[in-house]
């Protein structure tokens, strides 16, 4: 091959990958929207009712969060300017971590830049090639990527099949692994169902396994004082929560023991080498943390609307899997048909994005509906009318 041809061909792999995604109806592109309030957005000059955001309590537009973000910016500036171990460890970071730990009923907490970054780097710090990990088949990509990057041996048990998990744990416990770990989500981001946290705790204790739970889609919405399904559970070793969903902000944290916090500060590259979260974000999170424990009325409304949505969809013949949370999938199956439904809904001024493989398993492409406490009866009626028009 000549030098000229070599240069021309060096990105052939990109062309092949993109062509494959187009052929399989999996090509993705960025679509800009402009938020109006908790449930409406502008897209290409049209006002759409949004059923695809994770703003479960509508806090991203809450005036108290906006005011706190502005106040913190005026006092501390727009950026933290350094990593926490250098000069970016502001008093507000430490204060928020103490407040988060207390709110979750844990000894301590540590802030991270995002949920994906937290899962990737924490798992990498806790595992090594001599470790063995057991994870639910439907866990988030960030968890899988973190486990793979660690070099640990890992096994994926069938979704929520804790009998299979126990068989795997029993077998591994007689082998020469230096540590065992169970990794799963509390609320599954694409199916909207829950893990049995109490049963997972029993298995982890029985086999001496580290229990790592991603509570991203539960925190703010479920559990004691809305602090998630893993809150106030001292036998859960590490709980990761995010602020970009019910908190209406950005970033993530891990709640754990003081010993594990010290370990991560010293041994977790994603914490050590990352600039601290900016003051405006810390202010918004702090304000949300004050509000969330007092939003029981909003959570009850969200629960009621989610059940209403599931009942109506099932009556229309749609599968919502085992959803019992604010995440309600409409399983279509084929990617092309799922895209068609999403486009039909958008033509009726409904934003409901198609989720396709590899994000979900083959043959299970879906519309993932994410409800907010800001959605009212009339909003659901608009959705049902649009779905009925598509069916007929």
Active site amino acids:
54, 140, 185, 189, 214, 217, 245
Q: Do strands 350-351 and 131-136 pair parallel, antiparallel, or not at all (unpaired)?
A: unpaired
SS3 372: coil
Distance of alpha carbon 382 from alpha carbon 309, whole angstroms: 12
Distance of alpha carbon 233 from alpha carbon 215, whole angstroms: 12
> Which segments of 94-160 are extended strands (E)?
108-112, 131-136, 153-157
Looking from the CA of 332 toward its CB, the CA atoms found within 13 Å total 22
Distance of alpha carbon 219 from alpha carbon 231, whole angstroms: 9
Write down how long the chain is.
392
Q: At what angle do helices 279-291 and 63-76 cross, to 10 degrees?
A: 140
SS3 77: coil
Tokens encoding 385: 């009318």
Local structure of residue 59 (DSSP, 8 states): G
Distance of alpha carbon 92 from alpha carbon 97, whole angstroms: 9
Of 258, 254, 231, the residue nearest 242 (C-alpha): 254
* Omega of the bond leading into 11 within 30 degrees of 0 (cis): no
CB distance 325 to 192 below 8 Å: yes
């Amino acid at each position: 091959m000549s030098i000229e041809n070599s240069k021309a061909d060096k990105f052939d792999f990109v062309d092949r990958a993109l062509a494959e995604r187009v052929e399989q109806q999996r090509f993705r592109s960025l679509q800009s929207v402009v938020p109006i309030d908790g449930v409406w957005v502008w897209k290409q000059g049209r006002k759409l009712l949004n059923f695809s955001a994770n703003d479960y309590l509508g806090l991203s537009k809450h005036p108290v969060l906006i005011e706190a973000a502005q106040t913190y910016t005026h006092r501390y500036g727009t950026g933290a300017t350094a990593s926490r171990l250098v000069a970016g460890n502001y008093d507000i970071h430490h204060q928020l971590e103490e407040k988060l730990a207390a709110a979750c009923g844990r000894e301590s907490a540590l802030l991270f830049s995002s949920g994906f970054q937290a899962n990737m780097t924490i798992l990498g710090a806790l595992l090594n090639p001599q470790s063995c990990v057991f994870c639910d088949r439907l866990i988030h990509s960030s968890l899988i990527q973190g486990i793979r990057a660690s070099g640990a041996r890992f096994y994926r048990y069938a979704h929520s099949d804790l009998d299979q998990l126990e068989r795997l744990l029993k077998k591994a416990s007689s082998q020469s692994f230096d540590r065992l770990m169970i990794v799963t989500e509390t609320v599954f981001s694409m199916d909207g169902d829950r893990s049995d946290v109490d049963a997972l705790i029993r298995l982890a204790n029985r086999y001496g396994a580290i229990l790592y739970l991603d509570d991203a889609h539960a925190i703010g919405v479920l559990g004691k004082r809305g602090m998630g399904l893993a809150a106030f559970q001292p036998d859960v070793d590490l709980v990761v929560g995010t602020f970009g969903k019910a908190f209406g902000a950005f970033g993530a944290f891990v709640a754990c023991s003081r010993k594990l916090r010290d370990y991560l500060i010293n041994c977790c590259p994603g914490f050590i080498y990352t600039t601290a979260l900016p003051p405006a974000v810390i202010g918004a999170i702090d304000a949300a943390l004050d509000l969330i424990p007092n939003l029981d009325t909003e959570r009850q409304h969200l629960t009621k609307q989610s059940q209403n949505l599931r009942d109506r969809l099932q009556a229309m013949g749609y599968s919502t899997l085992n959803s019992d949370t604010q995440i309600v999938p409409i399983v279509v199956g084929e990617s092309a048909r799922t895209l068609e439904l999403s486009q039909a809904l958008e033509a009726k001024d409904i934003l409901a994005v198609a989720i396709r493989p590899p994000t979900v398993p083959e043959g299970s492409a879906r519309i993932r509906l994410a409800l907010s406490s800001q959605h009212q009866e009339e909003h659901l009626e608009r959705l049902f009318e649009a779905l009925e028009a598509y069916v007929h």
